[in-house]
Structure 1
Amino acid sequence: MIKIFKAYNPVNVLWLAVLLFVLRIGYTVHVPDKLEFTFVESFARLLIPIAYEYVFTPALNMMLAGILVLAQAVLLNYLVNHFNLLSKPSFLPALMYVTLTALFTPFMVLSAPLICNFLVIWMLFKLFSFYKSEDAKSTAYDLGMIVAVGSLIYFPFIFLFLAIWIALLIFKPFNWREWISCILGYITVFFFLAVLYYLNGRLGRFYDIWAPLGSKFPNSIHIRYLDYLVLIPVIIIIGLYFVKLQQNFLKSYVHVRKSFQLLFVMFLITGLSFYIKSVFNINHFLLCAVPAAVFCSYYFINATTKWFYESLYLLLLISIIYLQFNTF
């Protein structure tokens, strides 16, 4: 399987579609009668004043989610190849993204984090372009607006604002105008939301939007550990990625090194930002799938022992499918 996707062959898009269907076939057996889809946060419902949560049947919901995942996989693959992050073109980023977005059943349906992954990929295109841009003020402004739109859809997305400033530190010398530009971009979107609140006589409640930012990071999370056994192969792959990255780090181009530093920062930010949601939901970690897919791809593109890396990926596939049918 890995050998097929190491080649940059457009036919692999068809194999991706087949794999996407296979990885989700187990969930169709246990799919609920109703699947809720919340497109925006409650404070942004004024933007969409209609009931839409249950407008899609479970089958249509899963089909649309699969289409979005496939589109995101192709976009991510283009991003990685465009910036030459893996040193040679392949379809491994798309393969790993399709695989990682099937780790848990909540990943397989329409959700706000899934929608936001389009914004994550869009942000990465702009963030990686900082390296060669002389004046990044307009790009920083656009990024601020992207984060604001993402916050309307899924509020923890607000923490990716930090990724803009960290990217400016990594890729460019300090310029306070660029740092201010992204703030102005963010304010622009929420200014129009404030106007909408004012016109509806709810301006006093506008300030409640930011209340979750004061939430304390939880000391513990109540989860069923058996449900997360599927993460064992992923942890092994990412661990091997760090080994390979350390071996090749100084051999890589400066832009590639800086890009992987930024991806790691975004992985941490997206992973740790779950706590401001009052109810813990595993689908939050879909936001981690984009950088994680690049990490896994880096390992597989540099792995040399075929029987080992093919077996490791096969173990991951079997784990995903098996745990869909066995919920313990």
Structure 2
Amino acid sequence: MVALVRNNNPFTVLVLFIYALVINYGALFNPQLPELVDGAFLYNIIVNFFTIVFFKSAFAFTFISVIMVVLQGLFLNSIANNNRIYNRPSYTVTFAYISLCALYTPFVQFSQPMLANWAVIFVIRAFFHLPHANKPRKIIYNTGFIVGMAALLHFPFVIIAALLIIAVVTLRPLNPGELMVAILGILTPIYFAAGMLFLFDVLFWMRGWVSLGINLPRSMASPVYFIGALSGVIILFAMGVYVLQHAVNRLNVYTRRGWTAIYIALFVLVLVALFTPFDVKAAWLILMPSLALIVGNIYYHEKNKAFSNFAFYFTLALVIFCKMTGV
């Protein structure tokens, strides 16, 4: 299987989808309906709509969530391949993303962070497209609009707006017009949402939308699971940084800037997760897109095949360990 994810073979997509179903068997066999969140009016509307569409089927929600994880992994993978941020195209990013999301069951359950992760991926895409875009304002506005929608779903994502503005300022020559386009894109969905709430005489919902908290890693039923999972992720992250440091000199200046932005994004996303209300179990899911890009680089270390093989089987062992010891 390690050779399969290294290759850019479309057949790999089917294998990775089956892999996602197998490693998330616990969530699929014990599905849960998503809970409504106080103040998150847009998320609650979406949940109520799909509850009707799925006839209150918890399995349907969980199955759609697993599919969403696979699609997000494929989207991340296409960003990596199209912008040549690795030495060659492969499906290692998709494999890394699916594996990381499988470490904690709430990560593959329908939730605000799962929906908002699309915004994280679009911002990462903007990191690599902005420096040489022919129509940068279109990319900036569309990305800002998606960030604004994510903030409506999950208020702490307002912090991501700062990340987009930093990207506009640092990845391109300073242009006040582009900066205003980014701010306009972020505010547009919030403005229209406020207008719709006003028309339906429920504008007071906006007060409940503003919600921050402290979301430190919660006490686990199994300390062995928590320590093992955290240690495993740190090891994978360190391996990814190690490989990237050896490959950075072969990357062009735009790709190096993109990688710098990803590291900055990882720090900002830690703040977003940290200030998420405690009752949101999947708060730390938003770190997975950035981590998957960093970790995805270790599965085909050209100078040391034993290293990449070890990384691959270590990832599988970590997933199995978390499934056996987790909650």
Contact 2:61/2:109 (<8 A) preserved: yes
Q: C-alpha offsets along residues 103-138 of structure 1, whole Å, 9 cap, x if unaligned?
A: 101012222222222232233333321111366333
Query: Residue 301 of structure 2 aligns with which residue?
Result: 302
Contact 2:40/2:154 (<8 A) preserved: no
Query: Residue 313 of structure 2 aligns with which residue?
Result: 314
**Identical aligned residues as a percent:** 22
Letter in 2 for 1:223: S
Range with bigger deviation, 261-270 or 129-138: 129-138
Query: Residue 159 of structure 1 aligns with which residue?
Result: 159
Contact 1:39/1:111 (<8 A) preserved: no
TM-score scaled to structure 1, two decimals?
A: 0.86
Query: Residue 35 of structure 1 aligns with which residue?
Result: 33
Letter in 1 for 2:242: V
Contact 2:27/2:109 (<8 A) preserved: no
Contact 1:37/1:52 (<8 A) preserved: no
Structure 1's unaligned 5+ residue stretches are none
Query: Residue 140 of structure 2 aligns with which residue?
Result: 140
In structure 2, do the counterparts of structure 1 residues 65 and 44 end up closer, same or farther at CA, with 3 Å as the change threshold?
A: closer
Q: How many angstroms does 1:28 deviate by?
A: 4.3
SS of residue matched to 1:278: coil
SS of residue matched to 1:230: helix
Query: Residue 280 of structure 2 aligns with which residue?
Result: 281
Tell me how far apart the structure 1 counterparts of residues 48 and 140 of structure 2 sit (CA, whole Å).
Answer: 33
For residues 255-274 of structure 1, what are the structure 2 equivalents within 5 Å?
255-274=254-273
Equivalent pairs counted in the alignment come to 322
Range with bigger deviation, 295-304 or 97-106: 295-304
Letter in 2 for 1:277: T
Q: C-alpha offsets along residues 12-48 of structure 1, whole Å, 9 cap, x if unaligned?
A: 112101211221124445x25x422559962436966
Query: Residue 226 of structure 1 aligns with which residue?
Result: 224
Q: C-alpha offsets along residues 206-243 of structure 1, whole Å, 9 cap, x if unaligned?
A: 35544x35x5x67x654234332223222112102212
Contact 1:230/1:316 (<8 A) preserved: no
Tell me how far apart the structure 1 counterparts of residues 7 and 295 of structure 2 sit (CA, whole Å).
Answer: 16
Please tell me whether residue 197 in structure 1 is matched to residue 197 in structure 2: yes
Q: How many angstroms does 1:295 deviate by?
A: 0.3
Contact 1:6/1:301 (<8 A) preserved: yes
Letter in 2 for 1:140: I
Tell me how far apart the structure 1 counterparts of residues 38 and 50 of structure 2 sit (CA, whole Å).
Answer: 11
Query: Residue 12 of structure 1 aligns with which residue?
Result: 12
Range with bigger deviation, 177-186 or 224-233: 224-233
For residues 58-69 of structure 1, what are the structure 2 equivalents within 5 Å?
58-69=58-69
In structure 2, do the counterparts of structure 1 residues 307 and 134 end up closer, same or farther at CA, with 3 Å as the change threshold?
A: closer
Letter in 2 for 1:239: A
Please tell me whether residue 92 in structure 1 is matched to residue 92 in structure 2: yes
Structure 2's unaligned 5+ residue stretches are none
Q: How many angstroms does 1:202 deviate by?
A: 4.1
Range with bigger deviation, 81-90 or 274-283: 274-283
Q: How many angstroms does 1:143 deviate by?
A: 2.1
Aligned-residue RMSD, C-alpha = 2.8
